[in-house]
């Protein structure tokens, strides 16, 4: 019987180790991709001495995703190696505020990007949309700044709520390396509903705006594509392929962002708090969204691909030169 329990513990440890390793590799890849995007935009800015509006949004989104993925690694390392750090209510409140802030910034920056595409590409003859078309370039910096302010405003209540909890005496059993997170949560009097509604209230506006802008953009592109095809000039239109590509791109973006939002709901509602393995799997799926979208941004841009290749060959050349020295 004891041997069977030992085998079960070994299997659980191996499974948790493999899942953790997958998460760390995924986050490392995502961080590398987003840093590459920032470097590519910086090189473009140094070359052209100007920063296009879309480049500003993509740079902010890439920086936000880098910080989010880096924060994910740090948080998971704390849970695995030093879970007793969470016994400090100040540290825990800071961690939660940081997590919420990065959640919100990722959602809002993605929303700003989608709104920018919608305003620039759609052909709806609406007065408000026509007004935005002329003002969007000057509005984007303010929209990005507003996104940061909103993210700070909505992330602070979760940290203040946790800071206001009265920590109970923590059992020595909870200081094990493989501590179950649910025991810690129960001992500190967490109210799952409060934290969930805090997150939901702060995230639903940006997600709804994102969905509306994305659907409007996709509808406009599909409608224009059908008109071109029905006119019989589909093969002569140079924009048809670009429109179809844009439809696929925005549909993919919508799918990934929806997946990210749903995983965040699962995470903040603590539905998987009793299973550390499922908690890690949810984190892996959640991180897939920013990683895959960043990869798509690089692969869909010839400029980005050239930057990646030049950086790769530059690193290879530096490594070879160091070896010769």
Confidence band for 313, pLDDT divided at 50, 70 and 90: confident
Residue 160: CB partners within 8 Å, gap ≥ 6?
Answer: 93
At residue 215, the pLDDT reads 92
Contact 196, 269 (CB under 8 A): yes
pLDDT over 90, % of the chain = 29
Q: What is the pTM of this model?
A: 0.85
pLDDT score of 190 more than 70: no
pLDDT score of 20 more than 50: yes
* Average of per-residue pLDDT across 76-93: 72
Average of per-residue pLDDT values in the chain: 79
Report phi then psi at 297, rounded to 5. Answer: -60, -45
247-263 exposure pattern, b = at least 16 Cβ within 10 A, e = fewer = bebbbebbebbeebbeb
At residue 272, the pLDDT reads 66
How far is the CA of 276 from the CAs of 103, 167, 177, 311, in angstroms? Answer: 21, 22, 12, 38
Domains of the chain with CATH codes:
2-167+181-318 (1.20.1070.10)
């Amino acid at each position: 019987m004891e041997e069977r329990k030992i085998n079960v513990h070994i299997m659980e440890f191996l499974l948790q180790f493999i899942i953790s390793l997958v998460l760390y590799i995924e986050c490392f890849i995502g961080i590398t991709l987003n840093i590459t995007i920032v470097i590519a935009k910086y090189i473009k800015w140094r070359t052209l001495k100007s920063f296009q509006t879309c480049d500003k949004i993509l740079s902010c989104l890439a920086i936000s995703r880098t910080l989010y993925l880096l924060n994910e690694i740090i948080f998971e390392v704390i849970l695995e190696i030093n879970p007793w750090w969470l016994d400090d209510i100040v540290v825990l409140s800071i961690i939660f505020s940081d997590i919420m802030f990065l959640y919100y910034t990722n959602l809002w920056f993605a929303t700003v990007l989608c709104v920018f595409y919608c305003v620039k590409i759609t052909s709806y003859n609406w007065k408000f949309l026509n007004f935005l078309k002329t003002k969007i370039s000057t509005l984007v910096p303010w929209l990005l700044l507003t996104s940061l302010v909103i993210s700070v405003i909505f992330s602070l209540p979760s940290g203040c709520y946790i800071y206001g909890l009265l920590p109970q005496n923590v059992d020595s059993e909870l200081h094990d390396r493989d501590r179950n997170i649910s025991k810690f949560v129960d001992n500190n009097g967490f109210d799952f509903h409060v934290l969930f509604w805090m997150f939901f209230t702060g995230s639903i506006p940006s997600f709804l705006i994102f969905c509306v802008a994305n659907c409007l953009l996709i509808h406009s592109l599909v409608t224009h594509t059908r008109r071109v095809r029905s006119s019989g000039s589909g093969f002569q239109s140079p924009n048809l392929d670009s429109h179809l590509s844009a439809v696929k791109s925005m549909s993919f973006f919508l799918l990934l962002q929806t997946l990210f939002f749903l995983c965040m709901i699962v995470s903040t509602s603590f539905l998987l708090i009793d299973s550390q393995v499922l908690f890690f799997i949810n984190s892996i799926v959640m991180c897939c969204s920013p990683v895959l979208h960043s990869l798509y941004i690089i692969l869909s841009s010839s400029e980005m691909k050239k930057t990646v290749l030049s950086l790769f060959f530059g690193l290879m050349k530096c490594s070879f030169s160091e070896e010769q020295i």
